[in-house]
Amino acid sequence: MAPLSILVAIAVLPVILICLFVYSKDRDKEPLKLLIKLFFLGILSCVIVLLLSFIDIPFLPSSTSKMNLFQLLFYSFINIALVEEFFKWIMVYLFGYRSKYFDQLYDVVVYAVFVSLGFAFLENLFYVIIQGTLKIGIIRAFLAVPGHACDAIFMGYYFSLARIYKYKNKKLMRLNIVLSLLVPTLLHGIYDFCLFVENPLLVLVFFMFVTLLYVFSLNKLSTVSKDFIRDN
């Protein structure tokens, strides 16, 4: 087992770096007090999900290796992706999207990322310390943590579109609020499903998917931070 200090460092470092990267692109910086609050709300959402994970679902085997295709789909998209993204989404909606400080469209992307990486912070510590290996920490630093951030970027992007249509078209506003949960859930579900299905072809699909996810996420980040300046 690697030294605890090294494990903690490798679990925390990618979270800090991504938070700083997203924060650096904010032209009008958000209050640090709000961002810290959102980060801890992300940690809280992870605690809630961890507690819910102790609830057994009758038709799901205890191991993914024993699940059939339908069970894997349900487990990936509903039991994991929807549950995790919903609790992150509700924190962003209640304390970010509705915040009095949300006066630029990029703001809500920052909020979503800080909530999501608060979630990833606790989850990463849990996995890396329990596994006790640098290999797990390195893999998660390049896949799991950025994956959470990418899902958050899409969440924030659709929240920003919802703000655009808030005073122009209520139907489009509501549609984008739904998409702010639905799209991250689908992306998260695809990510997990490809990992759980023990198929060499899906391993290739997984890495192609992750590459495209990173590219499109950076594109969304750039679009909101540069093109969409204000919501009025």
The count of C-alpha atoms lying within 13 angstroms of the C-alpha of 59, restricted to the half-sphere facing its C-beta, is 9
> What is the chain's Cα-based Rg?
18
Q: What is the pLDDT of residue 9?
A: 92
User: Which residues does 48 contact at the CB level (< 8 Å), separation at least 6?
Assistant: 87
Q: What is the pLDDT of residue 229?
A: 47
Q: What is the pLDDT of residue 188?
A: 98
**pLDDT means over runs of 10, the chain (232 residues):** 86 96 92 97 97 87 88 96 98 97 94 98 93 88 96 97 92 97 98 90 93 96 73 48
Q: How many angstroms separate the CA atoms of 160 and 42, rounded?
A: 19
Alpha helices in 97-230 (DSSP H): 105-131, 134-142, 144-164, 170-196, 200-222
Whole-structure pTM value:
0.94
